[in-house]
Structure 1
Amino acid sequence: MVKQICTHSGSFHADESLAVYMLRLLPEYKDAKLVRSRDPKDWEESDIVVDVGAQYDGVKYFDHHQREFMETFSSDFHTKLSSAGLVYKHFGKRIIKSILGDVSEEDLDVLYLRVYKQFVEALDANDNGISKYDIKDDMGIKARFNDNAISIPGIISGMNPSWNGDSSAENFDKCFLKASAFIGSAFVTLVEGYGNSWLPAKSLVKEAVLNRKSCYESGEIVILEQFCPWKEHLYEIEKELGIQGQTKFILFVDSSNSWRVSTVPVSSGSFEFRRGLPKALRGLRDEQLSEASGVPGCVFIHAAGFIGGAKTKEAVLQLAKMGLEQQ
């Protein structure tokens, strides 16, 4: 028998738009009938009910509007869940596997948490009226501009029929399906990116960190033989291995097939680095830099000392070593 998903009628929001789309990624709900209704009879006749019904049991009912509701993703989070978070909490791992195919349990645990933190939690907060900041604008923080219209919840809200347009139930349903497809596509793209790009990058960075002492005995220089996004992974891997703060330089090949030497920020998003490239060489380029450093094949060192380039791996390795040796 065809299963039935029910959510509320009328104006829709980002959370139930995504919740319905995620459910339809599961085999049992792939061809499910969607009913948008506030009639308890329709709830009773449905197999799963999201964002309506004032009940949450983790089996059929996934609503968060009841006064006593205080569910969070886990004890590590404080953000109250919306219907999107509830569906993701209970079905998230299966949803990820439906998008990516076979995933190891270890990788699935990583992706399950990552996708919630980077995508779903913000929707939960928005729908529950939870501010990103502890201090409100009128208490000292003033936003430079308004980005509500380009946020995903803002875009979904704008997909509702206009007040002076066609306000029929049929048109609301049509607009809801459009909104659900929009946010669902963004969600799938995000999961695919993390599963097919972000996670493999972590494996490359970890391998390079584990082999770090083969290029420099102190282990302060890490060589990536293949470029990949490394900064965020590096901090996590250092923590896993108990070597926080040890890596000072990362060497990698850039898109032009030249080599780069990058400093490591003291923390993610910081402009302060753990160890900079030699001060006497900053701002120099090409032959002038090669002559001043005594390293052939140099291309540049940025004036701020956080990155440099050369034609060979050996050259950038020498620049990194000079950075470590400077007082």
Structure 2
Amino acid sequence: MSTEDHPAKKMRLEAKVIGTHNGTFHCDEALAVYLLKHTKAYGDADLKRTRDPAVLNTCDIVVDVGGVYDETTQRFDHHQRGFEEIFGHGFSTKLSSAGLVYKHFGKQIIANRLQMGEDEPKVETLWLKLYKEFIEAIDAIDNGISQYPTDLKPRYRLRTDVSARVGYLNPAWNQSVDSQTVDAKFQDASALVGSEFMNRLDYYANAWLPARDLVIAALNKRKEIDPSGHIILFEQFAPWKEHLFELEESLAIPEAEKPIYVLYPDETANNWRIQAVPVSPESFESRKALPEKWRGIRDDALSQLSGVDGCIFIHASGFIGGNKTKDGVLNLANLALNI
């Protein structure tokens, strides 16, 4: 049977090819290749690592080499003079090959992973979230952008240091290795950064987004708890702090109506917590700490002092406290607002 008559061999001959540079590899192209392997167009593609322009010209898509960024021809390099492409949507970091591929293919990859349409609002939310938490730092590090320019506010979030761990997979400077060995190590690097990306995507889709939905619901109902809007009540524990600050901004909640205290059941016991909202996500300073006279007092002594039964404690800094019941923390919150 000839090659043309054999379906498997014919399919193999027609396989698409992803091109990237050979030699020392970096996190950005390792992730870019991994992401492409999770798209419809390039899921079964072969990989060619080379700097030979003639070979790269035969590839269906090229990343991180070639000096061209052109979506229509599927060329995604960022090293050329004059390249200033950014992700947009409030992000200003110059893209690497990882960011370029993610910008153009990220929604498709997320939608495929979650088995939903690309136009679903959750896909857009996760696409932006993964860029902020995972991709942007890879773009910045590859482009030599300092996390801290001249002030104390970082330009981007660095949560994984995966760029350094990919770098460690390269052969040492004094090792003698052939191209096949380096190519194999590149595959290891691509699997490393790609698996972390997918793990983050799964977390944000299955844990982060549901928590965000709970915070939205609690924000919408907060005036049912107290007309001022200063008290948020959760019927189940969920990480709320990051979502609260982002939603306050996106929903344009006036300063006078922003939450001051958050009430929720303790995740490890059948008690309840009252927590003062900080002035910023990273701050230890509260918008309004629990009353000073309660701080550092526990149990019956605190119940007698506050007039609220079932008290457990108030932290010495006043940022958090506990009570045995939901009504108890609600009473503490109402009292604290007026002290």
Structure 1 length as normaliser, TM-score? 0.92
d(CA) in 1 for partners of 2:251, 2:88: 25
Matched, 1:127 2:142: yes
The alignment yields a C-alpha RMSD, in angstroms, of: 1.8
Q: CA deviation at 1:95?
A: 1.2
Question: How many pairs are equivalent?
Answer: 315
Which range moved further: 9-18 or 66-75? Answer: 66-75
Other structure's SS at 2:94 match: coil
Aligned counterpart, 1:303: 316
Q: Percent identity?
A: 50
Q: CA deviation at 1:27?
A: 2.5
Alignment of 1:120-159 (within 5 A): 120-135=135-150, 151-159=161-169
Q: CA deviation at 1:293?
A: 1.4
Residues 82-139 of structure 1: per-residue CA shift (max 9 Å, x gap): 1001101111111111222226622222211111111111111111111112139xxx
Aligned counterpart, 1:48: 61
Amino acid paired to 1:117: K
Aligned counterpart, 1:117: 132
Aligned counterpart, 1:69: 83
Q: CA deviation at 1:236?
A: 2.4
Matched, 1:87 2:101: yes
Alignment of 1:1-327 (within 5 A): 1-59=14-72, 60-74=74-88, 76-102=90-116, 105-135=120-150, 151-245=161-255, 246-255=258-267, 256-326=269-339
d(CA) in 2 for partners of 1:239, 1:153: 31
Other structure's SS at 1:78 match: strand
Other structure's SS at 2:87 match: coil
Q: Is the CA contact (8 Å cut-off) linking 1:21 and 1:184 kept in structure 2?
A: yes
Amino acid paired to 2:305: A
Residue 307 to residue 91, structure 1, CA distance change in 2 (3 Å):
same
Amino acid paired to 1:66: Q
d(CA) in 1 for partners of 2:305, 2:89: 56
Residues 191-226 of structure 1: per-residue CA shift (max 9 Å, x gap): 111111111111111111111122222221110011
Stretches of structure 1 lacking an aligned partner (at least 5 in a row): 142-147
Aligned counterpart, 1:144: none
Structure 2 length as normaliser, TM-score? 0.89
Aligned counterpart, 1:145: none
d(CA) in 2 for partners of 1:264, 1:176: 45
